[in-house]
Amino acid sequence: MIIRALIIYHSISGNTEMLAGWIQQEFEKIEVLVDYYTLTDLPNVDLSVYDIISLGTYTWGNGDIPREWDTFWPLLHDSHLPGTVFGVFGTGDTFYPNFCGAVTRICAQLESVVLVACALKVELQPQEQDRERCAKFTEVLVNRVSIDSYN
C-alpha cells in the first residue's frame, strides 16, 4: 500500500523549516511519498489525495497561531477528508509561558473537523535527539493510516 503525505509548514527564522525537513526525511525512510510546501507558497493542492497531512508552525505573540494560517482554514473546510490523518508539529521557546501554543491551538481547531493523531513540540532549533522524536511522529501517523485502512 502506497501512503502519501503532505507537509505544510510556516517558519520565519528556520527552526520549523528544519524540523519539517527532518520529518520529511523520516517519512521517506519508511517509503511514504511526500509533498512538501511552505504555507506561503502553497499551490492549489487537492488535500483529499493525501493519507496524512502534517502542519508545522512556530508560535507567535502569547501562544498565538501566526496570521498566515488564516488562508489555510477555508481550504481545509472546503475539503472532504474523512480518512485523512493529521499531525501537527512546531517549534517554540520555553522562555514563553505558552510553549508551542500554536501547536496546541491548531490541534484544538482541527479536532472538531478531522482526525488528529499526534503533535510534536520542539524547543527552538531541533537537536540531534529530536530526530528520534520525528521518527516516532511519522510512525504514529503511518500506523494510524494502516489501522484505519484495515477497518
Ligand X SMILES: Cc1cc2nc3c(=O)[nH]c(=O)nc-3n(C[C@H](O)[C@H](O)[C@H](O)COP(=O)(O)O)c2cc1C
**Beta-strand (E) ranges in 18-98?**
33-38, 52-58, 85-92
- Residue 99 binding ligand X, by CB under 6 A: yes
Helices 15-29, 129-150: inter-axial angle, 10-degree rounding: 50
Return the bridge partners of 144, or none.
Answer: none
Q: If DSSP codes are grouped into helix, strand and coil, which group holds residue 107? A: helix
- Residue 124 binding ligand X, by CB under 6 A: yes
Nearest-approach distance from CB 111 to ligand X, in angstroms:
20
Among 24, 101, 105, 137, binds ligand X (CB under 6 A): 101
Q: Between the CA atoms of 130, 132, 133 and 139, what dihedral angle is there, to the nearest 10 degrees?
A: 150
Of 3 and 65, CB closest to ligand X: 65
**Which residue, 7, 33, 31, is CA-closest to 19?**
7
Nearest-approach distance from CB 9 to ligand X, in angstroms:
8
Q: If DSSP codes are grouped into helix, strand and coil, which group holds residue 32? A: coil
Residue closest to ligand X, measured at CB: 92
Nearest-approach distance from CB 57 to ligand X, in angstroms:
8
Of 9 and 85, CB closest to ligand X: 9
Nearest-approach distance from CB 11 to ligand X, in angstroms:
3
Residues that bind ligand X (CB under 6 A): 11-17, 58-63, 91-93, 96, 98-101, 124
